[in-house]
């Protein structure tokens, strides 16, 4: 199968300790404004999406100590956390990863922020990048 499953960069997610400070910095330096903000209780994070063309910069901070993003910040510090690729069908793209021998974090698509359907792919088999498949 060689059909292109990725249609756009949906977002680049950056883990930060201080969400307000990061939002202010992007605003002051680049004039970026918050397009969407959401607490995702299931993932233990609060996110702010700054629109850049048809994609987003997603600033991400933990709201609980057991959040994966809290562990990430403790281990690696602030920085690039994952890349969200937009897909037409999350289930199809996830199956393609599995068929290719890739390791997944989500066995099946699940609800993401702003009404999307998402699935995470483990960085171990994707060259060190945590990938989120995002279906709008
Ligand atoms: Co994301």
Query: What's the mean pLDDT in 96-113?
Result: 96
What is the whole-number distance in angstroms between the Cα of residue 47 and the centre of ligand 1?
9
Calpha distance 107→20 (Å, rounded)? 33
Per-residue CA distances from 22 to 28, 36, 59, 70, 109 (Å): 10, 15, 7, 16, 30
pLDDT in tens, 49-99: 999 999 999 999 999 999 999 999 999 999 999 999 999 999 999 999 999
pLDDT in tens, 4-49: 999 999 999 999 999 999 999 999 999 999 999 999 888 899 999 9
Catalytic site includes residue 58:
yes
Residue 43: per-residue pLDDT: 87
Is residue 66 included in any domain, yes or no?
A: yes
Whichever domain contains 84, its CATH number is 3.10.180.10
Is residue 1 included in any domain, yes or no?
A: no
Domain containing residue 109: 6-135
Residue 71: per-residue pLDDT: 94
What's the structural domain count of the chain?
1
Residue 76: per-residue pLDDT: 95
Residue 72: per-residue pLDDT: 94
- Residue closest to 67 by CA, chosen among 18, 15, 32, 26: 15
Is residue 42 included in any domain, yes or no?
A: yes
pTM listed for this prediction = 0.93
Calpha distance 79→109 (Å, rounded)? 26
* Identified catalytic residue from 46, 81, 132, 135: 132
- The yes-or-no verdict on residue 132 having pLDDT over 90 is yes
Catalytic site includes residue 11:
yes
Catalytic site includes residue 28:
no
* Identified catalytic residue from 46, 47, 81, 135: 47
Neighbour order of strands in the sheet with 131-135? 34-40, 45-52, 55-62, 6-15, 79-87, 131-135, 117-121, 110-111
- The yes-or-no verdict on residue 2 having pLDDT over 60 is no
Residue 3: per-residue pLDDT: 76
* DSSP tag of 23: H
């Amino acid at each position: 199968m060689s059909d292109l499953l990725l249609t756009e960069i949906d977002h680049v997610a950056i883990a930060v300790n201080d969400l307000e400070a990061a939002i202010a910095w992007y605003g002051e330096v680049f004039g970026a404004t918050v397009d969407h903000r959401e607490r995702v209780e299931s993932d233990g994070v609060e996110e702010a999406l700054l629109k850049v063309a048809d994609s987003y910069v997603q600033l991400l901070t933990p709201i609980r100590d057991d959040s994966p993003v809290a562990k990430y910040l403790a281990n690696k510090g602030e920085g690039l956390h994952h890349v969200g690729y937009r897909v037409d069908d999350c289930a199809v793209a996830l199956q393609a990863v599995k068929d290719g021998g890739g390791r997944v974090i989500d066995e099946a698509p699940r609800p993401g922020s702003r009404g999307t359907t998402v699935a995470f792919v483990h960085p171990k088999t994707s060259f060190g990048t945590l990938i989120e498949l995002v279906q709008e």
